[in-house]
Amino acid sequence: MIGGCDPKTATVLQLLKESYARIGEVWNLKWTDIDTEKGLASIVPEKGSRPRQIKLSPRLCVMLAKLPHKCPRVFGPGNLEKFRRNYEKQRNRLAMKLSNPRLLQVHFHTFRHWGACRTYWRTKDILFTQRLLGHRSLTSTLRYVQLVNWENENEFHVKAIKTAKETEDLVASGWDYVTTTPEPELAMIFRKRK
């Protein structure tokens, strides 16, 4: 979806995906809110939420750097409703081209719901999820995470490794350390949810 849109729309979608922010929060970002060197963005809240800072991926930093810097706002002075209609045209065209009608269900707010469910499923920490979304009320966060499917809760991929480099790679990609096996087969066991 992101790869099939124009550069500005793709950047907005990638930012929504990584920040779990509302479209209004992303649309109103200023260049002063973005630090591509440190890979951080400061989200100015709307709807009474809390301000928060999010980590940007290197990919998103590159996408942001390619946008024109002619306006104080990252995505320019344009109208959000006009941008939304343009996104819907691109989304509809992609759904037809890929013969995937499920793409028609992807709206800007879908990324926020996806992020909330994903975070809560991975961490099982409702307060962390609340802070990430910027909610002041836990009740608001609970509306987002009611879709979490706990059926596959205890299914993991498991790996046994022996080198520091392998350990570094696994931890960087989200694997959790479980234990170390006894000698002579000394190995560290890691797991990651399926």
Q: Which residue has the higher pLDDT, 132 or 186?
A: 132
Say yes or no: 97 and 161 in one domain.
no
Q: What is the pLDDT of residues 116-125, one digit of tens each?
A: 888 887 888 8
pTM: 0.72
Integer-rounded Cα Rg, in Å, for the chain is: 20
Q: Which residue has the higher pLDDT, 19 or 193?
A: 19
Say yes or no: 168 and 82 in one domain.
no
> Domain span at residue 160?
156-193
Ramachandran angles phi, psi of 164, nearest 5°: -65, -40
Say yes or no: 13 and 93 in one domain.
yes
